[in-house]
Structure 1
Amino acid sequence: MTTLYLLGSAAPPLLDIAPVIEKAQSAGYDVCLGLTPAAARWLEPQLSELERLTGHRVRSEYKQPGTADAWPRADVALFAPATFNSINAWALGLTSSFVVGFAAEAIGKGIPLLTMPCVNTAYAQHRALDRSVAELRAMGVRVLYGEGGFEPNPPGQRRPYPWHLALGAVRETVPPRA
């Protein structure tokens, strides 16, 4: 089976992550869920159910030195939703959270990596976002942002997050194997 690391930041689409996991699993992926610390706090009441659903521990912290990996090796990783903070930290190499650290290291390990930001139009006006998106793309990350990907919402408004685009891009990048 193909292992998908699904990494998420604290953004509203994360609250609907269980159906996304189920869709990825039905497409043939073994899903491991990693969260930023804030995202883990948001999903605290659901963590045991998400672990049951994935069959893996949900991770939000780095493992202790000398501890065996809790997950199988990643075949592909999707960082979605990725907040303004996570995108900028990742592009700068600031790896204080497990998911950003994994994503930064995955570039060097050659693990196929995709991300789909989740930012509002106010954040999208900040020049750091465009620089960070360009930097990640230059490092080989497939960034689903703008036309054909996530398009920012006005502050305070919520449109459906295009999970179908993210999962479709994962399938295009690394098709599941039996």
Structure 2
Amino acid sequence: MTTPVLYLFGSAAPPVFDIADVVTDAQNRGFDICLGLTPTAAHWLAPQLTELARLTGHPVRSEYKMPGTPDVWPKADVIAVAPATFNTVNAWALGLTHDFVIGVVAEGIGKQIPTVTMPCVNAAYVQHRQFERSISELREMGVRVLYGEDGFQPNQPGQGKPSEYPWHLVLDAVQEITRG
């Protein structure tokens, strides 16, 4: 049996600083990890990118490859997008593929790659009407969204608790998806 490939995509919310621990946890659960980051998340983690590439065994990607160049990652068996910011959730649901992460996950829907996401937004952002529309759109497209009672629950602005972000829910969902 081959090792399932997990594309783990993170956007710029404070829990992304724990991504190395999440990679290790996912590897301990039997996954080959390919790590992708939004441009801002890649900027935040710039000092760690070399170590993250060593840890995963694959280049960390935050930009599209040049046309005609081979892909440096194996094909994904499952995709996880966490933390998913307000911008990431809305851009993805609207199909605005301005960056690599959004492009891959938008295309992943069409390729029917099982996908799970868990937002990381504050309670002020979720008051914007587009956010709930985007959550509904992603769910209707088959994305498993861990938000609400069984997933991430927003904090008040400025009162985030990055160390309490429930990463285990994302990895549990990924395991459940791959086990069929």
TM-score, reference length from structure 2: 0.96
Q: 1:105 aligns with which of 100, 104, 107?
A: 107
The unaligned stretches of length 5 or more in structure 1 are none
**Higher mean Cα deviation, 152-161 or 80-89?**
152-161
Which letter does structure 2 place at the counterpart of 1:109? K
Measured in 2, the distance between the counterparts of 1:128 and 1:143 equals 16
3-state SS in 2 of match to 1:174: helix
1:78-117 to structure 2, matched below 5 A, reads 78-117=80-119
Cα offsets for 1:15-66 (capped at 9, x unmatched): 1110100000000000000000000000000000000000000000000001
Q: Please tell me whether residue 165 in structure 1 is matched to residue 169 in structure 2.
A: yes
Measured in 1, the distance between the counterparts of 2:134 and 2:19 equals 25
3-state SS in 1 of match to 2:60: coil
Cα offsets for 1:81-112 (capped at 9, x unmatched): 00000100000000001000000000000100
1:1-178 to structure 2, matched below 5 A, reads 1-159=3-161, 160-175=164-179
Measured in 2, the distance between the counterparts of 1:94 and 1:153 equals 27
* Superposed CA RMSD: 0.9
Measured in 1, the distance between the counterparts of 2:116 and 2:123 equals 21
Which letter does structure 2 place at the counterpart of 1:7? F
3-state SS in 2 of match to 1:19: helix
Measured in 1, the distance between the counterparts of 2:134 and 2:45 equals 27
How many positions carry a matched residue from both structures? 176
8 Å CA contact 2:122, 2:160 repeated in 1:
no
- Residue 175 of structure 1, CA deviation: 3.1
Which letter does structure 2 place at the counterpart of 1:3? V
3-state SS in 2 of match to 1:47: helix
Measured in 1, the distance between the counterparts of 2:139 and 2:69 equals 32
- Runs of 4+ in structure 1 off by over 6 angstroms are none
- Residue 74 of structure 1, CA deviation: 0.1
Which letter does structure 2 place at the counterpart of 1:163? W
Measured in 1, the distance between the counterparts of 2:27 and 2:160 equals 26
Measured in 2, the distance between the counterparts of 1:9 and 1:27 equals 22
The unaligned stretches of length 5 or more in structure 2 are none
Which letter does structure 2 place at the counterpart of 1:129? F
3-state SS in 2 of match to 1:130: helix
Measured in 2, the distance between the counterparts of 1:108 and 1:46 equals 32
- Residue 157 of structure 1, CA deviation: 1.2
Measured in 1, the distance between the counterparts of 2:127 and 2:83 equals 18
Measured in 1, the distance between the counterparts of 2:159 and 2:58 equals 33
